[in-house]
Amino acid sequence: MAVIHHTTLTPTKLELLTTWLPKQPWYRDTGQQPELARTGGFRLDDPDGEVGIEFMVATDTSGAEPVTYHVPFSYRGAPVAGADEALMGTTEHGVLGQRWVYDGTRDPVVVAQLFALLLGAAEPQMQSTSDTPDPSVTGWFAEAGTKAEIAPTTVTDDPQGTDVVVETAAGGRRLCLHINRVLHHGRGAEEQAIGHVTANAPLPDGTTARTAFVVVHAAP
């Protein structure tokens, strides 16, 4: 399992996100620089122990109403060839040294582990505590017996979020993993969904509500 190092990051993840976030088509522009606070999230383990995987929840309070974003990250010890478009930036980790931080929706290791979570084959971990499962994060997929092996095909962003289309190794079934980038507190997956990841999202009063982070449909 991943070890969480309580050390410095320069720049911090929120500082990287403050620059990257306004460039995304799903960002809710307030006319001001984002004022971000980390308000939730969870982690998944890379079976090979090479890639850090985090699903961060960050709330922007720069506008009239707070907006809560869901941002999957991957952290790597070396740059990935051909992945410049997915690079959020680099940061200096107090223990591990330089880390390359990527948009996790474009990282095949993150997508593979996210799909494993949907199938119940990956155990979500607490965001800031080593070796501690997070039972508040749940994955569900309607088609029992589906194998975890997939190949990502296309990734597209629009004002509603990010669609990651994957192809299953068995039978070549195409599925769309829709990443809800703006979290609507308490909103679950629609009835026609064939899978989802649900976790707690923060409410303005400091409580949380069960909310769909990822929704799965059959892809054309």
98-130 pLDDT tens trace: 999 999 999 999 999 999 999 999 999 998 787
Do the beta carbons of residue 26 and residue 162 sit within 8 Å?
A: yes
Q: What percent of the chain shows pLDDT beyond 90?
A: 73
Give the count of beta carbons closer than 10 Å to the beta carbon of residue 218. 12
pLDDT-derived band at 95, boundaries 50, 70, 90? low
Reply yes or no on whether the pLDDT at 5 is more than 80: no
Do the beta carbons of residue 52 and residue 75 sit within 8 Å?
A: yes
Q: Which two tokens stand for residue 67?
A: 């907006």
Tens digit of pLDDT for each residue in 181-217?
999 988 888 878 999 999 999 887 888 999 999 999 9
**pLDDT value for 114:** 96
**pLDDT value for 145:** 72
Residue type, 112: A
In this structure, the strands spanning 208-218 and 174-180 are antiparallel
The whole-model pTM stands at 0.93
Give the count of beta carbons closer than 10 Å to the beta carbon of residue 159. 11
**pLDDT value for 139:** 96
Q: What are residue 112's phi and psi, to 5 degrees?
A: -65, -40
